[in-house]
Amino acid sequence: MLQSIHDKAKGILGIIIVAFLALVFGLWGIGDYLTGATEKFVAKVDGVEITQSQFDQGLARQRQRMEQMFQGKIPDSPIMQQRMKEQVVEQLIIQQVMQKMVTDEGYRIADVVLAQKIKNMKAFQQDGAFDNNSYHAIVQSQGMGVKEFENLFRNDLAVQQLQDAVTRSSIIGQSELNILNQIQQQSRDINYLQIDDISFLSDINVNDDQVKEYFELNGARYKHPEMVSISYVELTTDDMAKNIPVDEEAVRQLYDDYVASLSSKEQRKARHILVALATDADADIQEQKKALADDLLIRINKGESFESLAKEHSEDPGSASSGGELGWVSKGMMVPAFEAALFKLEKGQVSDVVKSNFGYHIIRFDDAKLEKTITYDDKKVDLVKQYKSQLLEDGFYEKSELMATTAYESDQSLQEVADALGLTIKTSEAFSRVQGKGIATNDKVRNAAFNPEVISEGRNSDVIEVSKNHVVVLRVDSHTEASLKSLEEVKHLIESAIRIEKAREKSMALALEALSKLEQGESIENDSIQVSAKLVKLGSVKRDDTSANKQILTEAFTMTKPVADKPVYKVVEVSGGTAVIELKSVTMPAQATTAQLEILARQFQNEQANRDMEVVLGYLKSQSDIARSEEL
Amino acid sequence: MDYETEEQQLEAIKRWWKENSNMVITGIAIGVASIFGWQYYQVEQAKHTEQASILYEQVLVNSADTLKINDQMASVNQLEAEFKDTPYASLSALIIAKQQITAGEIDKAQQQYRWVIENANQSELKYLAKIRLSRLLLTNKQQDQALSLLNETYPESFNGMVLELKGDVFSIQGNKIEARKAYLEAISLSKSSSRWLQLKIDDIGNISADSNLETGSEPSA
């Protein structure tokens, strides 16, 4: 071993090896070799794992967004859940791809720019200015360090640079717009014959053999749905509230708090006279000023007008001219010394000379505004509610926990759950997967009842959160599998199905007959063609015409254009019948003006920008080696 | 080869060290110097990139203002001359090109796209510039040049967009059959539904080879 090092490490090669090792450890450290990854991952982008916990966080955020979007009612079907999960994984993959792009392609946000953007974020501002404490607090509340947040944000900003450049520089050529304009603005001259099924319905007789044959072929379509009925125990805060004894003393305390809170909201109307004093004034001047204020107070007490003395002598530029009037003052608005003095006064009373850091004040309390105090008896109902809800918050959570453990531990019956919580067992009517009454109107309850473990193993369900204040545990009492309906039960349904089918066959036959006559050159206006049909002359219409039948319009605008004034025909099925469309001609719009093209360009700007970004993103993704985990 | 005793081994190590100590120390010195050199280079590179990044932000902010096009041009020229090694040169070129198109300076916009095609290190920007250049060529009635640009090889994610544009070129040339073929291929590649692409297909209708001759009667763009 040593010999081989000896041989190889000789000369220039030795230098290279050592230099290389120094470089490797210097640049990357040895940390990477010591940490072993053990966590599960949901995807891998170029060897970088997106971990289960990243995914869980992403999913929680997505759920929150959806809840806001649907106002608390997320569609809870398993398909939606799966789609949401896939979306979250896709987002995380894109995030990782973009992070790699930022590094590989050498994007970088300058420190000053980063700082500026952070300072401009509303979330970190207080009274319109950036607040460093809120910044740290908010970032940490997201479970991140400031450094980590800044790195993430820096990365986002770099991605934004690419996105801005791609989307804002999107263009659409005038020739392309012209093509779109010709499609959008062209008009087509259309007539059609409408043949309604309904006119044949009464002529159609259905016999039992037909019904039987139809039933043999299509009987599987008619089923009684799978049904269950359940027993359940439900816990609501409303029920709990009834059982909480009211502690009169605690309610009294709440009332006192309420009264105290009122006085803190009191506003007082006041005047003052200020003898201003600089904070760094020396003792002599202080004394002089104090004497001046004392003198003023004596004159007021002797009966001179407060208002005119304020006008003459007050050194508060804001209030002197209005006789010292300060308007309505509530607690917290004034310097503490002033506030303390003002709120000690009786109405109409004048204060002693009060010193604040502005100087010496003489204050008069003119008027008070107080929110009306509600009497204890009138307030009591509210207070009891408040008292109970405080207790309930904790109690409800504890009880639901107890419910969950009891239901899990003795999972073959609900009796223990009911006993443990002092609740009664209720039962439901039978319901299907998609529809139910009472407690089964809630789809979470229905989903839980049809859960395989609950339905076939006869276990208690998990605790189901019907709403924030309402939880349920259930078990299945009886279960009926879906079953085919008997011929008797569906006879009338089948009869009408056959009737509709036959009627459609008739109208289709008539339509095809008309088509062949039209294609031989007969006019659509001929009576011989309009057998059991109604001729509708749409005339010249555009594709977004709202007065015309939408199905007809869509079909007519996908028809091959007529050549050399020879109309083109097409038979189509529409709701309630069949139609034969005659497309007589297509008129292209005049060459679009520059103004029109500009309007179109604006109309397509967003769409084009999105497509450009989609393509770029697709390319960047294709440059990464992405592996998704099978199970989510 | 094996050594018989530990002394011999020790001897061998000492000998090796005597012969090679200079080399090893030089090696370590070079290693350390490279670390510092590399870090210095990185810091300088970061400063350089940040300068470009800030210049680009300015170009972006003024991108909607046609009056500022001359100031913008100065920034873009500087980016293209001094910051070619950063993505910001190409990003700015794409933005100024749009601004020039809005101002009616189509030739200058073409030059910007060509600059990106020749100089961008970021393939996605290069291909984007190619497609945008072909849009301009098409508007300029240079359909053949547009088509030859679109006939080059593109990465998969660009193909849907390229095919739709090809369809547009064919459609303008009156070649409805090729246009339909290109549109149909484009729609088979597009992941999201594209209403307008479908309308283009519908509008051509299900034509066969012989009806292609008759389409001359329509007013063309």
Distance of CA B103 to the CA centre of its chain: 24
Residues A200 and A499: beta-carbon distance below 8 Å? no
Using the beta-carbon criterion (under 8 Å), do A618 and B157 form an inter-chain contact? yes
* Pairing, β A48-51 against β A41-45: antiparallel
Cβ distance of B49 and A171 shorter than 8 Å:
no
The answer to whether B104 contacts chain A (CB < 8 Å) is no
Q: Does A180 touch chain B (CB under 8 A)?
A: yes
Residue among A18, A108, A112 whose CB faces B49 most closely: A108
Q: Which two tokens stand for residue B192?
A: 């999201």
Which chain A residues are Cβ-neighbours of B122 within 8 angstroms?
105
> Same domain for B37 and B115?
yes
Is A19 close to B168, i.e. CB distance below 8 A?
no
Q: Determine the distance in angstroms separating the CA of B196 from the nearest CA of chain A, rounded to an integer.
A: 8
Spatial contact of A188 and A586, defined as CB atoms under 8 Å apart: yes
Q: List the single residue in A with minimal CA-CA distance to B64.
A: A168
At A412, list the tokens.
């073959």
Distance from CA of A139 to the nearest CA of B (A): 25
> A169, B19: Cβ pair inside 8 Å?
no
The pLDDT-based confidence of A510 (bands split at 50, 70, 90) is: very high
Contact B113, A173 (CB under 8 A): no
Q: Are residues B3 and B105 in the same domain?
A: yes
Considering the domain boundaries, does residue B51 fall inside one?
A: yes
- Which of A21, A110, A559 is the closest to B53 by Cβ? A110
Check residue A132 and give left, alpha or beta (phi > 0: left; psi -120 to 50: alpha): alpha
For B:181-200, CB contacts with A below 8 A are 192, 196, 199-200
Give the residue among A385, A77, A425, A441 at the shortest CA–CA distance from A254: A385
Q: DSSP assignment of A420-486, as one string?
A: HHT---EE---B-SS--SGGGGSHHHHHHHT-HHHHHS-PPPPPEEEETTEEEEEEEEEEE--EEPP
CA distance B4 to B53: 66
From CA A131, how far away is CA A123, in angstroms rounded? 10
- End residue of a domain, out of B143, B175, B208: B143
| A626-628, strands of its sheet edge to edge | A48-51, A41-45, A626-628
Question: Looking at the partner chain, which of B16, B31, B196 has a beta carbon nearest the beta carbon of A6?
Answer: B16
Q: Which residue has the higher pLDDT, A61 or A581?
A: A581
Q: What is the DSSP string of A205-226?
A: ---HHHHHHHHHHHGGG-EEPP
Summarised one tens digit per residue, pLDDT across range B141-167 is 999 999 999 999 999 999 999 999 999
Q: Which pLDDT belongs to residue A14?
A: 64
Task: Please provide the average confidence, as pLDDT, over all residues in chain A.
Answer: 85
In the predicted model, what is the mean pLDDT of chain B? 87
Residues 536-555 of A with CB under 8 A from B: 543
pLDDT band at A527 (very low <50, low <70, confident <90, very high): confident
B85 with B184, same domain: the answer is no
Whether the Cβ atoms of residue A414 and residue A406 lie closer than 8 Å to each other: no
Asked if A24 reaches chain B (Cβ–Cβ under 8 Å), the answer is no
Structure token digits, residue A416: 């223990």
CB atoms within 10 A of CB A169: 25
C-alpha B114/C-alpha B120 separation (Å) is 10
Domain extent at residue B94: 1-143
Give the mutation candidate from B50, B142, B157 for the A interface (greatest A CB count, under 10 A).
B157
Residue A629 reports pLDDT greater than 90:
no
Provide the percentage of residues in chain A whose pLDDT is more than 70: 93
B172/A contact by beta carbon, under 8 A: yes
Contact A461, A449 (CB under 8 A): yes
Residues B165 and B75 in one domain: no
Best of A10, A113, A561 to mutate (most B CBs within 10 Å, chain B): A561
Q: How far A621 CA lies from chain B's nearest CA (Å)?
A: 9
How many C-beta atoms surround the C-beta of residue B190 within 10 A?
17
- B7 and B84 share a domain? yes
Best of A619, A620, A624, A626 to mutate (most B CBs within 10 Å, chain B): A619
- Tokens read off for A588: 């292209």
* Whether residue B169 is found in the same domain as residue B134: no
Q: Which of B3, B24, B92 sits opposite A18 (nearest CB)?
A: B24
Q: What pLDDT does B219 receive?
A: 41
CATH at residue B84? 1.25.40
| CB within 8 Å: A165 and B92 | yes
- In Å, how far is B131's CA from the nearest CA of chain A? 10
In a domain, B104, yes or no: yes
pLDDT of A332 strictly over 80? no
- Number of domains comprising chain B: 2
Over residues A518-544, mean pLDDT? 87
Residues of chain A neighbouring B221 (CB-CB closer than 8 A):
175, 178-179, 182, 591
What residues of chain B lie within 8 A of the CB of A27, using their CB?
35, 38
φ/ψ of residue A109, rounded to 5: -100, 130
Residue with tokens 């006993």: A419
User: How many angstroms separate the CA atoms of A54 and A259, rounded?
Assistant: 49
In b/e form, how buried is each residue of B68-99, taking b as 16+ CB within 10 angstroms? bbeebbebbeebbeebeebbbbbbbbbbbbbb
Q: Is B118 on the interface with A (CB under 8 A)?
A: no
Clarify whether residues B2 and B100 are in a common domain. yes
Q: Are A165 and B96 spatial neighbours (Cβ–Cβ below 8 Å)?
A: no
A211-239 pLDDT per residue, tens: 999 998 888 888 889 999 999 999 988 87
Kindly report, residue by residue over B193-202, the tens digit of the pLDDT. 678 888 899 8
Whether residue B130 lies inside any domain: the answer is yes
Whether B23 and B111 map to the same domain: the answer is yes
| pLDDT beyond 90 at A508 | yes
Residue A277 has pLDDT above 50, yes or no: yes
0.90 exceeded by pTM: no
Q: Which of B203, B213, B214 to mutate to test the interface with A (most CBs of A within 10 A)?
A: B203
**Residue B213, pLDDT score:** 43
Show the CA angle centred on residue A77, arms to residues A238 and A55, nearest 5°.
95
**What is the arrangement of strands in the sheet containing A470-480, beginning at the earlier edge strand?**
A426-427, A227-236, A470-480, A464-467
Residue B133 covered by a domain: yes
Judged against a pLDDT cut of 70, whether residue A294 lies above it is answered with: yes
pLDDT at B217: 39
Q: Which of B111, B143, B175 is the last residue of a domain?
A: B143
Q: What is the pLDDT of residue B111?
A: 96
Domain assignment of residue B108, yes or no: yes
Cα of A630 to nearest chain B Cα, Å:
22
Q: Are A587 and A607 in contact (CB under 8 A)?
A: no
Q: How far does A15 lie from chain B, in Å, by closest CA?
A: 4
The nearest CA of chain A is from the CA of B180 a distance in Å of 12
Place of tokens 């590399």: B38
Cα–Cα distance measured from residue B48 to residue B50, given in angstroms and rounded to the nearest whole number? 6
pLDDT number for residue A253:
86
Give yes or no for A330 touching B (CB within 8 A).
Answer: no
List, for residues A60-106, the tens digit of each pLDDT value: 888 877 777 776 666 667 777 888 888 899 999 998 999 999 999 99
Distance from CA of B110 to the nearest CA of A (A): 12
Q: DSSP secondary-structure letter at A47?
A: T
On whether the CB atoms of residues A222 and A492 are closer than 8 A, the answer is no
- Under an 8 A CB cutoff, do A560 and B206 touch? yes
Q: Is A323 helix (H, G, I), strand (E, B) or coil?
A: coil
Q: List Cα–Cα distances, A160 to A156, A242, A368, B121, B141, in angstroms.
A: 6, 56, 56, 19, 35
Taking the CA of residue A409 as centre, how many other CA atoms within 13 Å lie in the half-sphere pointing to its CB? 9
Give residue B218's pLDDT band: very low, low, confident or very high (50, 70, 90): very low
Tokens, residue A369: 């505004």
- The per-residue pLDDT for A143 is 74
- Answer whether A402's CB lies under 8 Å from A448's CB: no
pLDDT digits (tens, 9 = 90+) for B81-120: 999 999 999 999 999 999 999 888 999 999 999 999 999 9
Which pLDDT value is given to residue B216? 39
| One domain for residues B129 and B191 | no
Residues of B in contact with A22 (CB under 8 A): 27-28, 31-32, 34-35
**Amino acid at the residue A547:** S
- How many CB atoms sit inside 10 A of residue B61's CB? 12
| Residue B148 resides in a domain | no
Domain boundary among B91, B111, B143: B143
Pair B132, B217 in one domain:
no
CB of B173 within 8 Å of any CB in chain A? no
Residues A575-598 have a mean pLDDT of 89
Residues B176 and B121 occupy one common structural domain: no
Mean pLDDT of B121-150: 94
User: What is the average per-residue pLDDT within A3-22?
Assistant: 61
The verdict on B108 and B204 lying in the same domain is no
For residue range A179-198, what is the model confidence (pLDDT) as tens digits? 989 998 899 999 999 999 98
Calculate how close chain A gets to B200, using CA atoms only, in Å: 7
User: Within a domain: residue B26?
Assistant: yes
Q: Do A172 and B135 touch (CB under 8 A)?
A: yes
Question: Distance, in angstroms, between B210 CA and closest chain A CA?
Answer: 12
C-alpha to C-alpha distance for A190 and A548, rounded to whole angstroms: 10
Is the per-residue pLDDT at A258 higher than 90?
Answer: no
Nearest CA in chain B to A186: B203
Q: Alpha-carbon distance A552 to A559, whole Å?
A: 11
